[in-house]
Copies of this chain bind each other. A is one copy, B any other.
Amino acid sequence: MMQHNFSAGPCILPKSVFNKASKAVMDLDNSGLSILEISHRSKAFVEIMEKARTLALAHLNLNPNEYTALFLQGGASYQFLMTAYNLLESKAAYLDTGTWSAKAIKEAKLLGEVDVVASSKDKNYNYIPKSFTVPSDANYLHITSNNTIFGTQIKDFPQVDAPVVCDMSSDIFSRAIDFSYFDLIYAGAQKNMGPAGATLVVVKNDILGKVSRAIPSMLDYQTMISKDSMFNTPPVFSVYVSMLTLEWLKQEGGVSAIEKKNKEKADLIYTEIDRNPLFEGFAVKEDRSAMNATFTLKDEALKSKFDEMAKQANLNGINGHRSVGGYRASMYNALPLESVQVLVDVMKELERTA
């Protein structure tokens, strides 16, 4: 039975990727060996890793002479620490737009002064703060481009002098923006890129090497760069499936093409949220995320009925995060428009029968 997977991450990936990955677990490209048993130093895997790194930069339209793509372990949470370890010499500026920003702030504080330049915590993070000042002596500004839990997304990136570090975990490869605006981008694979277990870091080479602390090997971007992202055993399978997903994205026409589809899906759900008198959106309209639509039932008494209808329609993973409540429809790159249509139909059906 076809499931409509609205999970916030790990999440749906393209069916063709599942097919290829499943085959490679039995036999990678007719090698007689499983992708799970080959050496990470084998020619086959070195090529997979290089392909994944090259595709990542190509999709972001970044110059490989200026930027390096790394596939690391540890998730985005590890990057909260790693970015600060490598870049925070004295003071860093952080924009607090949600749970993940707040966690990044917590880790950075262990390594230096953190200036929280603005926060939307006052309204349970239902908007993106727009006017703030970044201190001129900040080593960098850290932002979260898409707030997975609250369903907000930065549309216009602030003009700042400091290098910009961005947690792009939940909207990387979803829209065409000028990625050269960023000096460091990181993203857990498990939304638009692949399965859990790999983390993409894209770093502008010239921002590194400026802090005075000794950096442990496993936290040092320069070590990872010098070893072509294989300082130690990489998460082979997660990198492989990420590579397949980045290839799929290329076949789909890249980020510009996928952005159009993502917009269609977002328009469909938000139009219904606004139109349907039973529902209301959580995030303020101008900051709504195209990836995660957060909404609530005005009348909680309808919850069990709606949940049952959603279940009957094979809608998966639409429960909201406990920090927001209600519902969250995550509509990452691989989610088909039809799945959103099924959700919208159920919302309409609830209205008709409530």
Each complex incorporates copies of this chain amounting to: 2
Q: Mark A23-38, 1 if CB is under 8 A from B, else 0.
A: 1011000011110111
Asked if residues A197 and B10 are in contact (CB atoms below 8 Å), the reply is no
Verify if A217 is at the interface (C-beta below 8 Å from B). Answer: yes
Q: Which of A194-213 contact B (CB under 8 A)?
A: 194-198
Q: For residue A301, which residues in chain B have a CB less than 8 angstroms away from its CB?
A: none
Asked if residues B197 and A238 are in contact (CB atoms below 8 Å), the reply is yes
Asked if residues A107 and B216 are in contact (CB atoms below 8 Å), the reply is yes
Q: For residue A11, which residues in chain B have a CB less than 8 angstroms away from its CB?
A: 37
Q: For residue A31, which residues in chain B have a CB less than 8 angstroms away from its CB?
A: 3
Interface of chain A, helix or strand or loop or mixed?
loop
**What band does the interface of chain A fall in when counting residues whose beta carbon is under 8 Å from B?**
35 or more
Contact among B10, B32, B194, B235 for A233, CB-based, below 8 A: B10
Given contacts A25-B25, A37-B195, 4 further A-B contacts (CB under 8 A): A7-B39, A9-B39, A10-B40, A197-B198
List the interface of chain A (C-beta within 8 A of B).
1-3, 5, 7-13, 18-19, 21-23, 25-26, 31-34, 36-40, 73-78, 80-81, 103, 106-107, 110, 188, 190, 194-198, 214, 216-219, 231-238, 241, 314, 316-317
